[in-house]
Structure 1
Amino acid sequence: MTIKHLKSICILFTLFALVWSPLSSVNAQNLETRIDSLLLTVFKDKNGPGAVFMVAKDGKPIYRKAFGKANIELDVDLTPDNVFQLESMTKQFTAIAILQLAEQGKLELKAPIVSYIPDYPAGDKITIHHLLTHTSGIKDFTKMKSLSKIAQQDLSPKELVDFFKNEQVDFAPGEKFEYNNSGYAVLGYIIELVSGETYEHYINKNIFDRAGMKHSSYANDIAVMPKRAYGYRKNDEGYVNKNKISFSIPFSSGSLMSTVDDMLQWQEALNKNTLVSANTINKAFATYQLNNGEALAYGYGWHLKALNGIPVREHGGSIFGFKTMGVYIPSADIYVIGLSNCDCNSPTQVTRDVAALVLKAFAK
């Protein structure tokens, strides 16, 4: 083969790559500009707290940017590497931990919770499945007026469950869907009872380590944490530091921390069945029903919704100083994650808007 022929082949391969690349450089720049425009409508204060966003296609980041400050007092800008509290996105990890234990035969999803917590009132009627799908009827402790009395106390999982377990249930198990932090706190306690490990240690060993999530952990306000994003809120006078809370309170319903890069590692671990088998992971995204046959829009740890008619899996979170949102589009393998360090700025809708924009761009 002559050098001339080799050059011709190289040119053909280059042209082929340009034609078949996900987005041409021009289109990629246009998409980046349009995503910037969406995000800057919400996170426009360069001198205040902000957010980090990532968009990934086929497991690879195509957009990764930070807006605003990681620390206002020290005038430190946010970077895409910053660590944020995940709040209720923690529920995804709790659900997968439960599915791991079920896969190992250490618990049954349809078993009543008295099988694990014998003294739980009405626990003979409430199953692990009810807890996972927010259909248990257990009183949500975050709506109890007495919550302020324990908010800054370091409670054991048993003490946290004891705080709300004797409250009257709101409805019979399976009768309705009502988002519930108590149910996921009970799940975290069951993880500890069944595994013989603390929830923190179990998640570190069986999820973070296995998924390669090197910058994720159980939340801690005392430990020195490299690249921590500090949380803020806003009042009439401006930004102030977030309210204090013991992380033993949100526990397995909202106490994990991570980065956008680690969250992509998480999504890839789910897609590749790194943590549980394909058969088991499908249980997290199945469509379940209430007692009356009505379909639920929630699986195990994820809301199951639609974006412009396309099925998506999503979940957000909110706690003092932080708000988060993640949207995954399985059919297009598009993942959009937004982490904000002020509870004054919600990434929920804009994350959905970015996901819709990216989906449309790749559909062309």
Structure 2
Amino acid sequence: MPKLSAVCVAVFALLGAPAVHAQEAPGAAQGAQSAQSTAARLDALVSASYKPTEPGATVIVVKDGKTLLRKGYGIADTSGMKPMDPGMVLRLGSITKQFTAVAILMLAEEGKLSLTDDLTRFFPDYPTRGKTITVEHLLTHTSGIASYTSRPDYPLTMGRDVTVAQMIDSFKNDPLDFEPGSAYRYNNSGYFLLGAIIEKVSGMPYAKFLEQRIFVPLGMKDTAYEGFERSSTAHAAGHTPGPKGFERAAPLSMTQPYAAGSLVSTVDDLARWDAAITQGRLLKPASWQRAFTSYTLADGKPTGYGYGWQIAQLQGAPTVAHGGGINGFSTYALRLPEQKVFVAVLSNADGGLANPGVVASKAAAIAIGKPFREFKEIALDAATLDRYVGVYEVEKGVTRTFKREGGVLVMQRSGRPPMRLKAFSQNGFYLPEGFDWFEFALDGKGKAGSVTQYADGREMKQPRIGDAPAERSAVKIASAVYDKRVGRYQLAPGFILELTRDGDRYYAQATGQGKLEIFAQDENVFFARAIEAEVRFDGGDSSYLVLHQNGQQIRAPRL
């Protein structure tokens, strides 16, 4: 399940290990050496990503049915400094969604439902407001239903146990975000509803259906709905970054993520899952094909999302993948069907560590022999950076804005948070936590006329269409005045927003998130530039603050 924005709090026949028996053939020794070299590169990559004294990750890389890397990195539980073991159980977060999707497809093949069924077939009183919302809309995040985890007040109740009906009642009366099928917006409510549909159609609890129809037949003994485990395999503890280092993650009732993010598993079980998919088990080929095909919107545009999987490319190779973010954990699993490569990275921290998606993608690139380009950062002066400041058109209605913040170029795409770039040449910049890079072309006046984005072997030229908009004005206040605001404020039980100062810069940090710089509008109002949010001290003193975000307000008393 995805986390809330940065100023808010974090929210959410058996298959055995593959065995190969064959006589050594010419070139086998060379192949073995190559495999060892690849394994060493993979280990070096992951070792550099996770420190041995911090929470870490379990990692597996499989190619052609052979395990290239299976290892634990970092600490499984910082309270006892227990090292991570690769066989440990961790939360999957939204990787859960692919299992929910497959369960729906199994029921569809059995004729118990159709992907074109209207939501009201299963919930006759669901207020669809005269719109047709289908099972396929729920699978593809195109239903328009508001996601319950995106509400600013969600953290106030995330620790409480709820029934399936109670959770559905909590969001069903919210207005639709858009016409069903007309747009893509990642949505946990849709997958929650899919879990309820599985229960209604099968007559079994969601947890039991997945156990009996998927996990047991595939030998996934350590995979389960959390709280319904069938094995005694050790679990890694979940962590979140705090003011004094990593600490235990905030509590979350697993009744709330449900079919959108409630599963736990191991990298070994996920490799078994991938092997079952490769072998075409559980579903007919046509159903697997539909799951791995990007859904097309009403206007003909692809969404890049199938049924429970994101559809993309990695170094030119077709890829299906999904990540997860849930209290205490961050995860990513990807498969490259044509190269028969599978990678899973399960991390036991919900922030403050290397991005599992980046680690997994780099590992997959090494496994297929196409490692990502490595960049070396150089420094550019302000005058050079200012040449590139402006707004560039990605496509109709979508822009990419570049601004200079001190000696750094910052990029922000429409509707997304800003990202700091690093220069590798006089006109080239790369994403430190990603794979894309950008090169600017100057016009005759010394300003950039366009920028070319390089991603997955593609070149996308984006013309400059205007100047960067003026930022919201900030004022300088005395440090002593801000220091009266410094402290910890409780947004909800166990969820804290901490205000700090570093020299003349001000920061807000919520439980499970990194620091977010905030700016003073005056002595009582502070705003973020990275997201649409502000903190107000309406009472004038510092006994409480009010977080304003997405049209809602959360009062937080000082601790």
Q: What TM-score, normalized by structure 2, do the two folds share?
A: 0.60
From 26, 29, 32, the equivalent of 1:16 is 26
Find the counterpart in structure 2 of residue 172 from structure 1.
179
Residue-by-residue CA offset, 1:128-156 (whole Å, 9 max, x unaligned): 00010111111011111231232111111
Find the counterpart in structure 1 of residue 271 from structure 2.
264
Give aligned pairs, total: 346
Q: Which deviates more from structure 2 when the two are superposed, residues 341-350 or residues 316-325?
A: 341-350
Find the counterpart in structure 1 of residue 359 from structure 2.
350
Q: What is the DSSP-based 3-state SS (H/G/I as helix, E as strand, rest coil) of the residue aligned with 1:53?
A: strand
Contact residue 59 and residue 345 of structure 2 kept, 8 A: yes
What is the alpha-carbon distance in structure 2 between the residues aligned to residue 313 and residue 328 of structure 1? 6
What is the alpha-carbon distance in structure 2 between the residues aligned to residue 119 and residue 102 of structure 1? 23
Deviation at 1:164, TM superposition (A): 0.5
Find the counterpart in structure 2 of residue 91 from structure 1.
97
Find the counterpart in structure 1 of residue 35 from structure 2.
28
Find the counterpart in structure 1 of residue 219 from structure 2.
212
What is the alpha-carbon distance in structure 2 between the residues aligned to residue 280 and residue 91 of structure 1? 16
Contact residue 211 and residue 275 of structure 1 kept, 8 A: no
* 1:295 and 2:313 aligned: no
From 40, 44, 54, the equivalent of 2:47 is 40
What is the alpha-carbon distance in structure 2 between the residues aligned to residue 284 and residue 15 of structure 1? 38
Q: For residue 315 of structure 1, what is the amino acid of its counterpart?
A: H
Find the counterpart in structure 1 of residue 485 from structure 2.
none
* 1:282 and 2:289 aligned: yes
Q: What is the DSSP-based 3-state SS (H/G/I as helix, E as strand, rest coil) of the residue aligned with 1:349?
A: helix
1:236–1:224 distance in 2 versus 1, CA, 3 Å: farther
What do you get for the CA RMSD once the two structures are aligned? 1.9
1:14–1:42 distance in 2 versus 1, CA, 3 Å: closer
Q: For residue 38 of structure 1, what is the amino acid of its counterpart?
A: L
Tell me which protein shows more helix as a share of its residues: 1
Q: What is the DSSP-based 3-state SS (H/G/I as helix, E as strand, rest coil) of the residue aligned with 1:291?
A: coil
* 1:118 and 2:127 aligned: no
Deviation at 1:305, TM superposition (A): 0.2
Which structure's relative contact order is higher, taking Cα pairs within 8 Å and 6+ residues apart? 1
Q: Which deviates more from structure 2 when the two are superposed, residues 277-286 or residues 249-258?
A: 277-286
From 103, 107, 111, the equivalent of 2:109 is 103
What is the alpha-carbon distance in structure 2 between the residues aligned to residue 356 and residue 243 of structure 1? 34
Find the counterpart in structure 2 of residue 203 from structure 1.
210
Taking the TM superposition and a 5 Å limit, the aligned residue runs for 1:60-75 are 60-75=66-81
From 200, 213, 237, the equivalent of 1:193 is 200
* 1:129 and 2:139 aligned: no
Q: For residue 76 of structure 2, what is the amino acid of its counterpart?
A: A
Q: Which deviates more from structure 2 when the two are superposed, residues 326-335 or residues 223-232?
A: 223-232
* 1:327 and 2:337 aligned: no
Residue-by-residue CA offset, 1:250-309 (whole Å, 9 max, x unaligned): 110000000001001111111222211112221101232100011121100000000111
Deviation at 1:219, TM superposition (A): 1.1
Contact residue 207 and residue 228 of structure 2 kept, 8 A: no
What is the alpha-carbon distance in structure 1 between the residues aligned to residue 230 and residue 113 of structure 2? 34
Q: Which deviates more from structure 2 when the two are superposed, residues 315-324 or residues 282-291?
A: 282-291
Contact residue 31 and residue 361 of structure 1 kept, 8 A: no
What is the alpha-carbon distance in structure 1 between the residues aligned to residue 228 and residue 309 of structure 2? 27
1:259–1:280 distance in 2 versus 1, CA, 3 Å: same
Contact residue 43 and residue 69 of structure 2 kept, 8 A: no
Q: What is the DSSP-based 3-state SS (H/G/I as helix, E as strand, rest coil) of the residue aligned with 1:293?
A: coil
Deviation at 1:225, TM superposition (A): 4.4
Structure 1: any 5+ residue segments left out of the alignment? 1-12
Find the counterpart in structure 2 of residue 3 from structure 1.
none
What is the alpha-carbon distance in structure 1 between the residues aligned to residue 64 and residue 32 of structure 2? 17
Displaced runs of 4+ in structure 1, greater than 4 A?
221-225
Q: For residue 155 of structure 2, what is the amino acid of its counterpart?
A: S
What is the alpha-carbon distance in structure 2 between the residues aligned to residue 34 and residue 14 of structure 1? 24
1:248–1:265 distance in 2 versus 1, CA, 3 Å: same
Deviation at 1:233, TM superposition (A): 0.8
What is the alpha-carbon distance in structure 1 between the residues aligned to residue 317 and residue 229 of structure 2? 43
Q: Which deviates more from structure 2 when the two are superposed, residues 238-247 or residues 345-354?
A: 345-354
Contact residue 58 and residue 267 of structure 2 kept, 8 A: yes
Deviation at 1:221, TM superposition (A): 9.9
Tell me which protein shows more strand as a share of its residues: 2
Find the counterpart in structure 1 of residue 402 from structure 2.
none
1:144–1:177 distance in 2 versus 1, CA, 3 Å: same
Q: Give percent identity, aligned residues only.
A: 37
Contact residue 51 and residue 338 of structure 1 kept, 8 A: yes
What is the alpha-carbon distance in structure 2 between the residues aligned to residue 36 and residue 65 of structure 1? 8
Q: For residue 85 of structure 1, what is the amino acid of its counterpart?
A: R
What is the alpha-carbon distance in structure 1 between the residues aligned to residue 218 and residue 231 of structure 2? 23
Q: Which deviates more from structure 2 when the two are superposed, residues 322-331 or residues 142-151?
A: 142-151
What is the alpha-carbon distance in structure 2 between the residues aligned to residue 138 and residue 355 of structure 1? 34
Structure 2: any 5+ residue segments left out of the alignment? 1-22, 372-559
Contact residue 222 and residue 229 of structure 2 kept, 8 A: no
Find the counterpart in structure 2 of residue 8 from structure 1.
none
Q: For residue 329 of structure 1, what is the amino acid of its counterpart?
A: L
Residue-by-residue CA offset, 1:33-67 (whole Å, 9 max, x unaligned): 21122212321x21221001100112231211110
1:113–1:280 distance in 2 versus 1, CA, 3 Å: same
Deviation at 1:31, TM superposition (A): 1.3
1:118–1:221 distance in 2 versus 1, CA, 3 Å: closer
Contact residue 213 and residue 265 of structure 1 kept, 8 A: yes
Deviation at 1:222, TM superposition (A): 10
Q: What is the DSSP-based 3-state SS (H/G/I as helix, E as strand, rest coil) of the residue aligned with 2:45?
A: helix
What is the alpha-carbon distance in structure 1 between the residues aligned to residue 34 and residue 231 of structure 2? 42
Q: What TM-score, normalized by structure 1, do the two folds share?
A: 0.91
Q: For residue 348 of structure 1, what is the amino acid of its counterpart?
A: G
Q: For residue 287 of structure 1, what is the amino acid of its counterpart?
A: S
Taking the TM superposition and a 5 Å limit, the aligned residue runs for 1:241-252 are 241-252=248-259
